[in-house]
Amino acid sequence: MTMSRDFVNRRLHSLLGVIPLGVFLIQHLTVNHFATRSEEAFNAAAHFMESLPYRYVLELVVIFLPLIFHGIYGVYISFQAKNNVSRYGYYRNFMFLLQRITGIITLIFVTWHVWETRVQAMLGAEVNYKMMESIFENPLMIAFYLVGVLSAVFHFSNGLWSFFVSWGITVTPRSQQICTYVTMAIFVALSIVSVRTILAFI
């Protein structure tokens, strides 16, 4: 019974990491990337997202509840995992370890980012270009955001590989190798978008 519950929880953890959290990550990066065009373009995109109907319900159901489960269960998985990179230096072993490390970093970063933006918005602050610009006036915050966002992007991209394997989509060695190339290409593409966005606020 315990193994069955653990199996279901791991499947749910994997699914939520891609849908809806992975989809939201791409959407969030896309909206933020409007900062590379102009301050007005970013503010317009941010205002559009904030004016969506049932926004609070959507945020709760599509983002925060899945994020809480994925984050808490992810920490449990990380501490249960037996990392043996020092004994078996295989590529997938290394990626397995990186997935756990970036998961913890991402959880810390997302918690802080939610506090700096969504919670402050609830307290009356306006989430706009000026807010992000003021955050990045501190060089330490630039470094923190770069590490946090790139960790989130890697965790999602590499997590896609695990998702396809665990759900039986890529079962052959060749399909898994192709999936490795595809997911790393996604990581590179989203990393470029992320770094360009951060630099746009500086």
Side-chain half-sphere CA neighbours of 149 within 13 A: 25
Report residue 38 as tokens: 């102009």
List domains and CATH numbers for the chain.
Answer: 2-201 (1.20.1300.10)
The string of pLDDT tens digits covering residues 51-105 is: 888 888 999 999 999 999 999 999 998 888 665 554 545 888 899 999 999 999 9
The string of pLDDT tens digits covering residues 162-192 is: 999 999 999 999 999 999 999 999 999 999 9
The string of pLDDT tens digits covering residues 124-176 is: 889 999 999 999 999 999 999 999 999 999 999 999 999 999 999 999 999 99
